[in-house]
Amino acid sequence: MTASGTLTPGGASPGGASPSAVRSGPQPPAVRRGVLVVAVVGALLLGFLVVTALVTRPAGRPALDVASAESDGTRALAQILRTRGVAVSPADAMPAGSAGQQDTLVVVGPGRLTHDALTDLLGRVWRGSDVVLVAPGNAVLDALDVGIATADRQPAGGGSDPRCALPEAAVAGSATIGGSRAFTPADGGDLGDMRLTLCYGDPPDAAQLAVLSPDRTDAAPAAGRLVLLGSADFLTNRELDRSGNAALALGLLARHPTLSWITPAADAAGGVGTRSAAELLPAGFRWAGLQALVVLVLLALWRGRRLGPPVPEPLPVIVRAAETVEGRGRLYAAAHARDRAADALRAGTRVRLAERTGLPVLAGPTGTPGPDPVALVASVSEQTGRSPSEIGSLLYGSGMPPQTTGAPSPLGRARDRYQSRHLPPDAARPAEPAASGVSGARRGTVGTGGAGRPGERDAALLALARALDELDRQVGGR
Footprint of another protein on residues 339-378 (CB under 8 A)? 340-342, 344-345, 347-348, 351, 361, 363, 367-369
Q: Is 275 in the site for another protein (CB under 8 A)?
A: no
**CB of 153 vs another protein, minimal distance in Å:** 22
Pairing of strands 104-108, 130-134: parallel
Check if the beta carbon of residue 172 is closer than 8 Å to that of residue 162.
yes
**CA dist., res. 130 & res. 128, Å (int):** 7
Q: Is 320 in the site for another protein (CB under 8 A)?
A: yes
Return the residues of window 159-188 that contact another protein according to CB under 8 A.
none
189 CB neighbour count, 10 Å cutoff: 16
Considering only 7, 96, 277, 280, the residue that binds another protein (CB under 8 A) is 7
**CA dist., res. 125 & res. 213, Å (int):** 8
Q: Is 446 in the site for another protein (CB under 8 A)?
A: no
Question: Nearer Cβ to another protein, position 55 or 315?
Answer: 315
In this structure, the chain runs to a length of 478
Considering only 29, 157, 188, 284, the residue that binds another protein (CB under 8 A) is 284
Q: Is 453 in the site for another protein (CB under 8 A)?
A: no
Provide the b/e sequence for 360-380 (b: ≥16 CB within 10 Å). eeeeeeeeeebbbbeebbbbb
Q: Is 53 in the site for another protein (CB under 8 A)?
A: no
**CB of 467 vs another protein, minimal distance in Å:** 11
Considering only 1, 14, 24, 28, the residue that binds another protein (CB under 8 A) is 14
Amino acid type, 134: V
**CA dist., res. 245 & res. 160, Å (int):** 10
Question: Nearer Cβ to another protein, position 250 or 354?
Answer: 354
Q: Is 462 in the site for another protein (CB under 8 A)?
A: yes
**CA dist., res. 78 & res. 376, Å (int):** 117
With CA atoms as reference, report the closest residue to 262 among 90, 399, 50. 90
What's the first-to-final CA gap in the chain, in angstroms?
Answer: 47
Q: Helices (DSSP H) in 151-224: which residue ranges?
A: 167-172
**CB of 367 vs another protein, minimal distance in Å:** 6
Question: Nearer Cβ to another protein, position 158 or 358?
Answer: 358
Question: Nearer Cβ to another protein, position 157 or 282?
Answer: 282
Question: Nearer Cβ to another protein, position 62 or 452?
Answer: 452
Question: Nearer Cβ to another protein, position 63 or 463?
Answer: 463
Q: Is 299 in the site for another protein (CB under 8 A)?
A: yes
Return the residues of window 180-239 that contact another protein according to CB under 8 A.
none
Question: Nearer Cβ to another protein, position 53 or 311?
Answer: 311
Question: Nearer Cβ to another protein, position 241 or 323?
Answer: 323
Q: Is 286 in the site for another protein (CB under 8 A)?
A: yes
Please name the residues in contact with 66: beta carbons below 8 A apart, sequence gap of 6 or more: 73, 74, 75, 77, 78, 88, 90, 261
Give the bridge partners for 363, in sequence order: 369
Mark the segment that binds another protein (CB under 8 A) among 3-11, 109-117, 132-140, 232-240.
Answer: 3-11
Question: Nearer Cβ to another protein, position 230 or 433?
Answer: 433
Mark the segment that binds another protein (CB under 8 A) among 171-179, 268-276, 309-317, 379-387.
Answer: 309-317
Check if the beta carbon of residue 199 is closer than 8 Å to that of residue 207.
yes
Q: Is 311 in the site for another protein (CB under 8 A)?
A: yes
| Strand ranges, E, within 30-136 | 87-91, 104-108, 130-134
